[in-house]
Amino acid sequence: MNIGYSKVLFFILIIIFVRCSSSSDVEPINPMIMIEDVEKLEGNNGTLQIDYKVTLSASHTEDIILSYKSDDASAFQDSDYKSVEGQLIISSGEVEATIPLDIVSDNIKEGNEYFRLLFQSDMEVEFNKKTAQIKIKNDDSELPYGNSDYSTPDTYIGWTKAWADEFDDPEINTSWWTHEIGNGDNGWGNNELEQYTDAPENSRIENGNLVIEARDDSWNGQQYTSARMITRDKKTFGFSRTDIRAKLPFGQGIWPALWMLGNNIGSKGWPACGEIDIMELIGNLPSTSHATVHFGADFNNYKYIGDKYSISSEIFNDRFHVFSVVREFNQMWFYVDDILIFEFDSKDTQGQPYPFNEQFFFIFNIAIGGNWPGNPDETTQFPQRMEVDYVRVFEKE
């Protein structure tokens, strides 16, 4: 009796096991959604369309529905590519679908740039990653201007203007700017020769531009005077795009700079606070501008890295140019006239902390003499002026 009951129970368990193991009753396993980076040559004059492919690791019995949208990185909507946003459906039984992308083509020399495609889904699916980089490879050689000054737009799609000084008021706005007064005795280093003042001879608004003027006139024991203006504790910014339109001075020993320091310099000190040099120029090389970052846990671990950009057949005093920096989390890009010249991210810190995710303030100045440019000589003409038409800061919406 017990033996017969055991046999019946055994066969019932076998039937249940077979049914549960039947492929028709097993929940299908979702394939992996494969998102890959791509790169394309920019092309010339018009629009280059590319088909970006999203693939599955295997076909699926149901439609896979994704949402996607483009996002600026070192490339920008309208000027470098056309923004996209929508839904992508990979039909059941299929393993890929495409998103049409439009690259804005031109003949302008610029660095290799990229934008992003961001993906997500409300379905229970897995991605190898959710962000694709679309690199636009430059294949041009023309400069972005003819005989005109360069300018950048007042608005960007997907960005909001956080602050701007157009220097259209009759006086320098002291609610935004502070003059630093002093010289090398203030601990600024570099063995410079100027005395920074707040005198109108050294800084003023003139014809809608900020003028910073370096002069060969003694003050407080220094042979030269100039101005150094900062926005510390008044206007500070984190992740953003900054455009500064300026015409630069020149000459042996002249050292103009448009730059930023971490607003925590009081507690962190330099270089731990970080320094972002959007533009520096050494006056005896007036056709070359430099973009540089400085960092390090302390002075003993100080590091810097940067790059330069040169124009031909003219100098940066001949016309206005726009110097820009874009900051995102752990990444920065530097531009001259929208030409990408230098990029930097947290992997480039040579083992030192990355300080550039914090709030930074602006410094505009002309130094005279010092370790890098050397001192003025008989060829140096005074006065020398840096004219700034605007500084604009944009933040992503």
Q: What is the DSSP string of 147-195?
A: SS-----S--TTEEEEEEE---SSS--TTT-EE--B-GGGTT-TT--EE
- Residue 207 tokens read as 């014809």
The residues that are catalytic are: 275, 280
Which pair of tokens denotes residue 134?
A: 């679309």
Please state, in angstroms and rounded to a whole number, the distance separating the CA atoms of residues 272 and 282: 25
Query: How is residue 362 annotated by DSSP?
Result: E
| Tens-binned pLDDT, residue by residue, of the chain (397 aa) | 455 555 545 554 444 444 444 444 444 467 899 999 998 887 776 788 889 999 998 888 889 999 999 999 888 888 889 999 999 999 998 999 999 999 888 766 666 888 999 999 988 889 999 999 998 887 665 655 556 799 999 999 899 999 999 999 999 999 999 999 998 777 677 889 999 999 999 999 999 999 999 999 988 888 999 999 999 999 999 999 999 999 999 999 999 999 999 999 999 999 999 999 999 999 999 999 999 999 999 999 999 999 999 998 899 999 999 999 999 999 999 999 988 999 999 999 999 999 999 999 999 999 999 899 999 999 999 999 999 999 999 999 9
Q: Tell me which residue of 103, 99, 100 sits closest to 80, measured CA to CA.
A: 103
Q: Return the amino acid letter for 53.
A: K
Q: What's the fold here for domain 159-396?
A: Jelly Rolls (2.60.120)
Domain definitions of the chain by residue range: 32-137, 159-396
- pLDDT of 387 reads 98
Cα distance between residue 356 and residue 328, in whole Å: 9
> What pLDDT is recorded for position 183?
87
Q: How far is CA 282 from the centre of its chain?
A: 23
Q: How far apart are CA 134 and CA 119, in angstroms?
A: 13
Contact call for residues 68 and 102 (beta carbons, < 8 A): no
Chain Cα centroid distance, residue 187: 30
What pLDDT is stored for residue 30 in this prediction?
76
- Of 203, 143, 159, 113, give the one whose Cα is nearest residue 388: 203
Say what the pLDDT of residue 39 is. 86
Does residue 366 contact residue 382 with C-beta atoms inside 8 Å?
Answer: no
Give the count of beta carbons closer than 10 Å to the beta carbon of residue 328: 19
Residue with tokens 């055994």: 10
Tokens of 155: 């608005």
Is the peptide bond between 271 and the residue preceding it cis, with omega within 30 degrees of 0? yes
Cis peptide before 200 (omega within 30 of 0): no
Contact of 44 with 107, CB cutoff 8 Å: yes
Burial string for 368-383 (b: 16+ CB within 10 Å, else e) reads bbbeebeebeeebebb
Please report the pLDDT score of residue 15 as a whole number: 47
Spatial neighbors of 188 by CB under 8 A, at least 6 apart, are 182
Q: What dotted CATH number matches 32-137?
A: 2.60.40.2030
Which of 258, 288, 287 is closest to 275 using CA atoms?
A: 258
Give the model's pLDDT for residue 187: 63
Give the number of C-alpha atoms closer than 13 A to the C-alpha of residue 153, restricted to the C-beta side: 11
What pLDDT does 27 receive? Answer: 44
Whole-number Cα distances in Å, 384 to 226, 320, 381:
9, 15, 7
Please report the pLDDT score of residue 104 as a whole number. 87
Which residues lie closer than 8 Å to 153 by C-beta, 6 or more apart?
A: none
Give me the amino acid identity at 114.
Answer: Y
CA–CA separation, 55 and 98 (whole Å)? 9
Integer CA distances (angstroms), 161 to 76, 157, 333, 381, 385, in order: 15, 11, 18, 38, 28
How many C-beta atoms lie closer than 10 Å to residue 302's C-beta?
Answer: 14
**Which residue bears the tokens 């671990």?**
301
